[in-house]
Amino acid sequence: MNSLPHILVVDDHRQIRDSVTRFLERNGMRATAAKDAREMEEKLAKGHFDLMVLDVMMPGEDGLSICKRLSAEKRLPIIMLTALGQDQDRIVGLEIGADDYLPKPFNPRELLARIKAVLRRAPEERLEAGPLSGRILRFGGLTLDTDAHMLTDRDGNRVQLTTADFRLLTVLLARPRTVLSREQILDLTAGRAAGPLDRTIDNQISRLRRKIEMDPLRPTLITTVRSQGYSLNADVEVVE
Amino acid sequence: MNSLPHILVVDDHRQIRDSVTRFLERNGMRATAAKDAREMEEKLAKGHFDLMVLDVMMPGEDGLSICKRLSAEKRLPIIMLTALGQDQDRIVGLEIGADDYLPKPFNPRELLARIKAVLRRAPEERLEAGPLSGRILRFGGLTLDTDAHMLTDRDGNRVQLTTADFRLLTVLLARPRTVLSREQILDLTAGRAAGPLDRTIDNQISRLRRKIEMDPLRPTLITTVRSQGYSLNADVEVVE
DNA sequence: CCGGGATTGTAGCGCTTTGTATCAGCTACG
DNA sequence: CGTAGCTGATACAAAGCGCTACAATCCCGG
């Protein structure tokens, strides 16, 4: 994080929005407000945010729904606000993908402390789908043109990737040297959950290996971690 | 044998310790208990943990102090428990380096949800992403390519290691000339606790020796320390 | 709207890897 | 020497995974 952390505050109550953003700004953060889902999307599309504070009860698309949707695709930490102080609701908020939860009425200083806590454990910014697009990446001797979905191998041969190949590779490249479970990969590439006997990812990996491994029978780039998942074993360099 | 997240529960009340660990274990986690700071240090030194649940009010060194100390050096997510429900104390807990906070009395399900939320944010940094990854190591005349999981012996012969071989070897290489108990090794390689008649590690060692010892019948690299465990007898040099 | 090729999901076989049981040998210690 | 506790090795069964074949689906030009 080069500059101040940028927080997006989404709440339909003008007074809360304003007081929260002002409080955050007085305490070393940058804050932007949005009054509903539509405005939130607008701001999200325009700028970069490090964390979102989201009210559960809102007209239009409500907080829980937004949270579920966002935590599936984006990688933006979310803290939920709600008037419901019951355990049940708090649990739902967390299980749905929020990173933390704060019942109203809350002490602004506690919100600040929780924001800091979440930011502290937010992984350092990695290459994501966004920053990755339109770039040329080099890894393990191969070069990937993310615009053309085209791969160039060590000998300069060009390999055409299918969309599935490409998405899988992108997901792996965004998290080098990290073991990703099949469930995780399926979620990130296809956006769906795995069935009990789902071998889809095994298959995709197998197909991708045939295209990028020097010896597909003894893979080194994409290694299998038994009963855990797969991981990309290479350093990724952004060329352009 | 999925490697479950391992939680360390530190609380001086026996009843809370027991009920929490039991609850976590019934819900897909592995839990270990410690009754004070000393016992905590002991467990931390021996095994791998993904998260710690820490009581604030304890005799001896109290939770806040422990938390402050640990969050400075280690990178272990911490959730604090406390009987104080006041805002002030909650803030102190978070600002001091805890990743979350839960006032007693708490709903176990909420603790579980919060643990999951914190774990989701915490990138799993096990061996894969450890300091040894992406390196070439030399020890006792052998060379290990940690990317390819490939070993080259004195004569240049290449030996393919299975993932279990590799993880075991990595654990040993990270702590050369140190006696590791079977329990410790099992925790570090597979992330699980040993059963009473567990000979898994004996077996793994036996298999690994066949691949790396010059004379597997008279092992010199990996030596047995009777009724203690095993140790790697070589200097490890990072080549690249 | 249709047809054909490319791509992607599903099923299943068979190999490899790994955990458990068991036995036999070894060591320490009387 | 004899015994008890460890350890090493072998055998076996279960689980995980790679790969092939095939079915379903997508894509795109006509």
8 Å CB contact of A220 and B150: yes
Global pTM? 0.73
8 Å CB contact of B94 and A100: no
Q: What is the pLDDT of residue A85?
A: 55
Q: Examine the pLDDT at A126 and tell me if it is beyond 50.
A: no
Most confident segment among A83-97, B51-65, B123-137:
B51-65
Shared-domain flag, residues A107 and A163: no
Range of the domain at A28: 6-121
Alpha carbons A201 and B133: distance in angstroms, whole number: 24
Burial of B131 (0-12, 13-18, 19+ CB in 10 A): exposed
Shared-domain flag, residues A138 and A229: yes
Round to a whole number and report the distance in Å from the CA of A230 to the C1' of C8. 20
Q: Which residue of B has its CA nearest to A125?
A: B123
Shared-domain flag, residues B144 and B74: no
Query: Is A16 contained in some domain?
Result: yes
- End of a domain among A121, A153, A176? A121
Quickly tell me which residue has 């529960």 as its tokens: B9
Shared-domain flag, residues A170 and A78: no
Tally of domains within chain A: 2
Query: Is B85 contained in some domain?
Result: yes
Shared-domain flag, residues B105 and B84: yes
Whether B75 contacts chain A with CB within 8 A: no
Mutate to test the interface with B, among A88, A226, A233, A235 (most CBs of B within 10 A): A233
- In the DSSP assignment, the letter for residue A128 is -
Query: Is B110 contained in some domain?
Result: yes
Alpha carbons B196 and B218: distance in angstroms, whole number: 28
Q: What is the pLDDT of residue B128?
A: 45
Shared-domain flag, residues B89 and B116: yes
Burial of B225 (0-12, 13-18, 19+ CB in 10 A): exposed
Q: Please give the torsion angle defined by the CA atoms of residues B12, B15, B16 and B17, in that order, rounded to the nearest 10 degrees.
A: 70
Query: Is B1 contained in some domain?
Result: no
pLDDT band at A127 (very low <50, low <70, confident <90, very high): very low
Give me the mean pLDDT over the A159-188 stretch.
90
Q: What is the pLDDT of residue A231?
A: 93
Reported as a single tens digit per residue, the pLDDT across B147-177 is 888 899 888 888 989 999 999 999 999 989 9
Shared-domain flag, residues A160 and A234: yes
- End of a domain among B95, B121, B147? B121
CATH number, domain with residue A176: 1.10.10.10
Shared-domain flag, residues B132 and B107: no
Chain B window 145-184: residues with CB closer than 7 Å to nucleic chain D are none
Alpha-carbon distances, residue B27 vs A88, B4, B6, B115, B186 (angstroms): 17, 10, 12, 11, 22
State which amino acid sits at residue A97.
G
Q: What is the pLDDT of residue A84?
A: 61
Shared-domain flag, residues B146 and B71: no
Shared-domain flag, residues A136 and A104: no
Alpha carbons B41 and A234: distance in angstroms, whole number: 35
Q: What is the pLDDT of residue B166?
A: 94
- End of a domain among B101, B121, B141? B121
Alpha carbons B128 and B131: distance in angstroms, whole number: 9
Alpha carbons B90 and B111: distance in angstroms, whole number: 15
Shared-domain flag, residues B137 and B116: no
Query: Is A182 contained in some domain?
Result: yes
Query: Is B93 contained in some domain?
Result: yes
pLDDT band at B38 (very low <50, low <70, confident <90, very high): very high
Q: What is the pLDDT of residue A71?
A: 61
Chain B positions in Cβ-Cβ contact with residue A223 (cut-off 8 Å):
147, 149, 163
Q: What is the pLDDT of residue B107?
A: 85
Query: Is A1 contained in some domain?
Result: no
Query: Is A61 contained in some domain?
Result: yes
Q: What is the pLDDT of residue B184?
A: 92
Q: Which residue of B has its CA nearest to A95?
A: B113
Alpha carbons B21 and B6: distance in angstroms, whole number: 11
Residues 160-189 of B with CB under 8 A from A: 160, 163-164
Neighbours of B49 (CB within 10 A): 20
Reported as a single tens digit per residue, the pLDDT across A2-45 is 467 889 999 999 999 999 999 999 998 899 999 988 888 888 86
8 Å CB contact of A178 and B99: no
Q: Which residue of A has its CA nearest to B2?
A: A227
CB nearest to A231's CB, from B100, B120, B128: B128
Chain B positions in Cβ-Cβ contact with residue A95 (cut-off 8 Å):
113, 116
Shared-domain flag, residues B71 and B139: no
CATH number, domain with residue B77: 3.40.50.2300
Give me the mean pLDDT over the B76-92 stretch.
74
- In sequence order, what are the residues at sequence separation of 6 or more whose Cβ sits closer than 8 angstroms to the Cβ of residue B157? none
Reported as a single tens digit per residue, the pLDDT across B104-136 is 778 888 899 889 888 876 654 444 445 666 788
pLDDT band at A90 (very low <50, low <70, confident <90, very high): low
State which nucleotides on strand D lie below 7 Å from a protein beta carbon: 5-11, 15-21
